[in-house]
Structure 1
């Protein structure tokens, strides 16, 4: 399984990476610190799932979602994106809107805890 971790906080990426390496033997993990890096890594590595923060510099998570969903709809991507949003964003209306996007499997609130990791394991 290929997983792309997209978060501007290196601590969040490291926590997720460490837990996923232990929980899913043989998985390939890639990281991006913002949406621009994420777009390039998504196109290069074609991950099975993206763990995505919404609030990031340069290009935010919502813009990343719009780009990859549009690329899939236009036939540039062969498989539909699968995204799990992990964010500290706290606007309920916006989170509901994001959770309704075609590529978003679920939205998980930060901070990343043991419960977050356990929930991720059931989704992956």
Structure 2
């Protein structure tokens, strides 16, 4: 399984990476520190799932979602994107809107805890 971890906080990426490697040995992990890197890595590696923060510099998570969803709709991607949003963003209306996007499987609040990891294991 290929997993793209997109978060501008290296600590968050490291926590996710360490837990995923422990619970899913053999998975291929790809990292991106912002939405621009994420777009290029998504197109290059076409991961099975993306773990995405919303608030990032350069290109934010929502813009990333728009670009990959549009690319799928136009036939540039072979499979429909599957995204788990993991964010500290706390606007309930915006989170509800994001959770309704076609590629978003679920929204999980930060901070990343053992409960977050357990929930992720059920989604992966």
Is TM more than 0.5 here? Answer: yes
Give the Cα–Cα distance (whole angstroms) in 1 for the partners of residues 37 and 22 of structure 2. 25
Query: What runs of 5+ residues in structure 2 fail to find an aligned partner?
Result: none
Say which SS state the counterpart of residue 90 (structure 1) adopts: coil
C-alpha distance in 2, partners of 1:88/1:25?
27
Provide the C-alpha distance between the structure 2 equivalents of 1:112 and 1:15, rounded to a whole number of angstroms: 8
Q: Does residue 113 of the first structure (1) align with residue 106 of the second (2)?
A: no
Deviations 1:53-94 (A, max 9, x none): 000000000000000000000000010000000000000000
Distance 2:75 2:33 in 1: 26
Q: Structure 1 segments of 4 or more deviating over 2 A? A: none
By how many angstroms is 1:25 displaced? Answer: 1.3
Q: Could you tell me which residue of structure 1 aligns to residue 77 of structure 2?
A: 77
Report what 2:64 is aligned to. Answer: 64
Query: TM-score w.r.t. structure 2 length?
Result: 1.00
The residue number in structure 2 matching 1:11 is 11
The size of the alignment, in residue pairs, is 124
Corresponding residue for 1:28?
28
CA distance in 2: counterparts of 1:25 and 1:19, whole angstroms = 10
Give distance in 1, aligned partners of 2:74 and 2:110. Answer: 33
In the other structure, the counterpart of 2:43 is: 43
TM-score, length-normalised on structure 1? 1.00
- C-alpha offsets along residues 6-46 of structure 1, whole Å, 9 cap, x if unaligned? 00000000000000001011100000000000000001111
SS of corresponding position for 2:43: helix
Instruction: Name the residue aligned to 1:86.
Output: 86
Q: Distance in 2 between matches of 1:114 and 1:67?
A: 31
